[in-house]
């Protein structure tokens, strides 16, 4: 379905508003929709067929928490022909202070023919699931075949979605090892996983190191800006999907057999760990194995041996959000779900 400007009979442009329940009703709370839409988007990204400006971070004041910001993430994809932006806010203390999730977002979809807005979607559900689907796609190409052990550090919204998506996509997963600085968060997630996926064994680990040492696939989803995860904690053959970006010591990138990013330019900025290594002269684009879309499209190999330690640094890209939101929009149009809003 094309993303086209809609007019009411009296000539007002109208937009389709999809709240979280609408998005879930068309499959937006499961991995399948996202894996499908993302594979296509990431391959287009690697082929240079998307437009994706570097995302600006709106931060207020000096020296605030790393997770206190609003990020603007615009992108255009030629297939399926859509432009749009995710506007995603975050406050690290929302859960404790306000009883709210850390992140909130809206996504606006635009018709590239007119550049009019055509869709407005709740964005944090899509954001969490697309992030989980990136790990699923990476696991399919970069993890050991038939990996069975998953380690998760940080048991919030993003962590939970990672585990739900992985258990949906990989039936062979036997055990999930959880760690959170807040033991209650780890236990709450352990109970939720056991309830939803009774076939998997769930263990709350005594430390981050204990969890990481148990993982064939290791996924940090914290809000830290203090690296704690050391290279020598990783098993031979591990894949680390570095979702929360700042958890790993520099030696993880320097020791890994392959480093894969979603986008080099997005990874090499804002004093993130890769950017720090580049500024010090100890890492460069030449040492990068690939961008993820190159692996998915077959242009670069994925895992070559069971022994390799591979690190994926997924900064998170606007093309992912816009491609997934466009798929949700198309399914909602087909299912006649959502609320029309007139612009005039
Ligand atoms: N790469 C991407 O594309 C992408 C996309 C979305 C979110 N994220 C990142 O995912 C992270 C998690 O987001 P969320 O919404 O789940 O946050 P959240 O606040 O809901 O959960 C974070 C959890 O991590 C725990 N934690 C914090 N520091 C820790 C530490 N050092 N060790 C162990 N546990 C620790 C907290 O207790 C909390 O339970 C954020 O950093 C966010 O920026 C990345």
CB 217 within 8 A of CB 169: no
200 plus 224 within the same structural domain? yes
Domain assignment present for residue 178? The answer is yes
131, 156, 157, 261: residue to mutate for ligand 1 pocket, most atoms within 8 A of CB: 156
Count other C-beta atoms under 10 Å from residue 47's C-beta: 12
Can you tell me the distance from the alpha carbon of 38 to that of 36, in angstroms, rounded to the nearest whole number? 6
- Is residue 131 within 6 Å of ligand 1 at its C-beta? yes
245 CA distance to ligand 1 middle (Å): 10
Ligand 1, atom nearest to 92 Cα: 19
Does 326 lie in the same domain as 309? no
11 and 25 within one domain: yes
In a domain, 138, yes or no: no
**Same domain assignment for residues 274 and 334:** no
Residues 175 and 311 in one domain: yes
Number of the ligand 1 atom closest to the C-alpha atom of 245: 1
**Residue 200: pLDDT above 70?**
yes
Mean pLDDT of 174-182: 98
Catalytic-role residue among 86, 91, 258, 300: 86
Q: Are residues 101 and 226 in the same domain?
A: no
User: Do the Cβ atoms of 91 and 102 come closer than 8 Å?
Assistant: yes
Tell me the residue range of the domain where 297 lies.
143-315
Confidence of residue 1 (pLDDT cuts 50, 70, 90): low
Whether residues 221 and 263 share a domain: the answer is yes
> Ligand 1 centre and the CA of 1: distance in Å?
35
Residue 83 lies in a domain: yes
| Three-state secondary structure of the chain | CCCCCEECCCCCEEEEEECHHHHHHCCCCCHHHHHHHHHHHHHHHHCCCEECCCCCEECCCCCCCCCCEEEEEEEEECCCCEEEEEEEEECCCHHHHHCCCCEEEEEEEECCCCCCEEEEEECHHHHHHHHHHHHHHHHHHHCCCCCCEEEEECCCHHHHHHHHHHHHHCCCCCEEEEECCCHHHHHHHHHHHHHHCCCCEEEECCCHHHHHHCCCEEEECCCCCCCCECHHHCCCCCEEECCCCCCECHHHHHHCCEEEECCHHHHCCCCCHHHHHHHHCCCCHHHCCEEHHHHHCCCCCCCCCCCCCEEEECCCCHHHHHHHHHHHHHHHHHHCCCEEEECC
pLDDT band for 178, please (50, 70, 90 cuts).
very high
Our answer on whether the CB atom of 316 is closer than 6 Å to any ligand 1 atom is yes
Question: Is residue 300 among the annotated active site residues?
Answer: no
Q: What is the pTM of this model?
A: 0.98
Instruction: Kindly report, residue by residue over 238-283, the tens digit of the pLDDT.
Output: 999 999 999 999 999 999 999 999 999 999 998 999 999 999 999 9
Note the pLDDT tens digit of each residue in 283-337: 999 999 999 999 999 999 999 999 999 999 999 999 999 999 999 999 999 999 9
Could you give the number of structural domains in the chain?
2
Cα 289 to chain centroid distance, Å, stands at 20
Residue 67 in contact with ligand 1 by CB distance below 6 A: yes
Residue 227 lies in a domain: yes
CA of residue 220 to ligand 1 center, whole Å: 8
Decide whether any atom of ligand 1 lies within 6 Å of the 244 Cβ.
Answer: yes
Contact indicator for 116, 13 with CB cutoff of 8 Å: yes
Nearest CA to ligand 1 atom 26: 222
Whose CA is closest to 317, among 44, 131, 67? Answer: 131
């Amino acid at each position: 379905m094309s993303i086209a400007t809609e007019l009411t009979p009296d000539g007002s442009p109208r937009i389709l508003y999809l709240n979280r329940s609408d998005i879930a009703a068309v499959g937006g709370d499961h991995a399948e929709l996202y894996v499908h839409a993302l594979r296509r988007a990431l391959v287009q990204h690697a082929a240079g067929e998307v437009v994706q400006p570097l995302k600006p971070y709106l931060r207020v004041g000096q020296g605030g928490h790393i997770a206190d910001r609003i990020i603007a993430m615009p992108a255009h994809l030629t297939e399926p022909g859509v432009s749009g932006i995710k506007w995603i806010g975050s406050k690290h203390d929302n859960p404790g202070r306000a009883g709210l999730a850390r992140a909130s977002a809206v996504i606006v979809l635009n018709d590239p023919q007119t550049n009019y807005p055509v869709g407005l979607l709740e964005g944090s559900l899509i954001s969490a699931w697309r992030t989980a689907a990136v790990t699923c796609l990476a696991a399919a190409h970069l993890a050991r075949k038939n990996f069975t052990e998953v380690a998760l550090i940080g048991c919030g919204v993003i962590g939970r979605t990672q585990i739900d998506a992985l258990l949906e996509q990989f039936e062979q997963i036997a055990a999930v090892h959880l760690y959170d600085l807040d033991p209650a968060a780890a236990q709450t997630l352990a109970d939720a996983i056991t309830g939803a996926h009774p076939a998997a064994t769930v263990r709350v680990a005594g430390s981050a190191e204990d969890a990481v040492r148990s993982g064939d696939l290791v996924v940090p989803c914290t809000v830290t800006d203090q690296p704690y995860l050391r290279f020598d904690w990783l098993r031979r053959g591990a894949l680390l999907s570095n979702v929360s970006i700042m958890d790993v010591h520099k030696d993880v990138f320097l020791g890994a057999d392959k480093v894969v990013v979603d986008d080099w330019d997005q990874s090499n900025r804002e004093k993130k760990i890769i950017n720090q290594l580049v500024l010090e002269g100890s890492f460069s684009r030449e040492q990068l194995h690939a961008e993820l879309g190159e692996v998915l499209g077959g242009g670069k190999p994925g895992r070559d041996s069971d022994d390799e330690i591979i690190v994926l640094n997924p900064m998170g890209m606007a093309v992912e959000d816009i491609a997934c939101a466009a798929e949700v929009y198309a399914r909602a149009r087909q299912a006649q779900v959502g609320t029309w809003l007139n612009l005039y």
